[in-house]
Structure 1
């Protein structure tokens, strides 16, 4: 019997979610439900065939997985936390660049935290 779980997330931007997965070296495939790509899912393949997906629910990408067949190296909660941390960093970098900031340093620390330094020069 399958027990699919839909984990509540706050991942609303596909571009930043993809960047977070890439930074964490999590392999994924894009899967589109329609031709205009408005319902794109990110599928994380698992060796047992029970893939993990981030599916658009109309407001955000939620994690859909069968908890009995979870084969990632972290628990579901830790998995979401790690992706959330990377996603937040990608949002800060991307949105800051839109207003003229440039990343100077992005470092993953041994305690699990990240250090991000941005700069912007005043042209006055």
Structure 2
């Protein structure tokens, strides 16, 4: 019997999310997920994430943020979902910072991955 777990994220930008998935070596497919309650039927945006043609998890838009949805009993990616979600969140944050910095006129000068796994960025903007 499968058990699907749904985890809230802070991911709200679909374009940055897709860039993040590519950066981490995942393939993805945009799909529409059908949901229904007693009053109506609706379709929501979803991203099905794959690696080597194996469906791993979905990121489903709930109107506020993307939810991480995975079948944790049968998942065979080899990395605990907590670590994977942490990697996705870190890279998403990195890509968000870079995107917003460029909009504000900054350029990336240097970046360094630290021993604790964090990334140190050096950005510069000339007036």
5+ residue gaps, structure 1, are none
Summarize the Cα distance change of 1:72–1:107 in structure 2 as closer, same or farther, 3 Å threshold. farther
The residue number in structure 2 matching 1:23 is 23
The CA distance in 2 between the partners of 1:89 and 1:47, in whole Å, is: 25
- Structure 2: gaps of 5 or more residues: 35-42
TM-score by length of 1: 0.82
- Residues 90-109 of structure 1 correspond to what in structure 2 (within 5 A)? 90-109=95-114
> RMSD of the TM alignment (CA)?
2.4
Partner of 1:115: 120
1:51-101 deviations in Å (ceiling 9; x for gaps): 410010111001111111112231111111111111111111111111111
Residue-pair matches, total = 119
Poorly superposed stretches of 4+, deviation over 4 Å = 46-50
Native 8 Å contact 2:30 2:48 kept in 1: yes
Provide the TM-score with structure 2 as the length reference: 0.80
